[in-house]
Amino acid sequence: MIETEIQVKPEVKVEESVEARPVIQLEHISKIYQTGDIEVHALRGVSLTIRAGEFVAIMGASGSGKSTMMNIIGCLDRPTKGRYILDSEDVSGLSKDERADIRNRYIGFVFQGFNLLSRTSALENVELPIIYAGLHAHERTKRGLEALHAVGLQGREYNHPNQLSGGQQQRVAVARALVNHPSLILADEPTGNLDSRTSVEVMEIFQRLNREKGLTIVLVTHEPDIAQYATRVVVFKDGRIKRDYQVQDRLDAREQLEAMSNAPEMDDDDDE
List pLDDT tens digits, range 16-38: 446 889 999 999 999 999 888 89
Q: Please, which residues bridge with residue 184 across strands?
A: 107, 216
pLDDT-flagged residues of the chain (< 50): 1-17, 270-272
| Consecutive H or E run containing 103 | helix 96-106
Q: Identify the pLDDT of residue 117.
A: 92
> 3.40.50.300, 3.40.50.1970, 3.30.465.10, 3.30.499.10: which CATH number matches 54-78+94-262?
3.40.50.300
The pLDDT, as a whole number, for residue 18 is 60
Distances (CA, A) of 30 to 42, 68, 120: 7, 10, 40
109: enclosing H helix or E strand: strand 107-111
For residue 93, is it left (φ>0), alpha (ψ between -120 and 50) or beta?
A: alpha
What are the extents of the domains in the chain? 54-78+94-262
Q: In 3-state terms, what secondary structure has residue 90?
A: strand
Give the integer Cα–Cα distance in Å for 29 and 50.
14
Count CB atoms within 10 A of the CB of residue 156. 18
- Please write the tens of the pLDDT for every residue from 58-75: 999 989 999 999 999 999
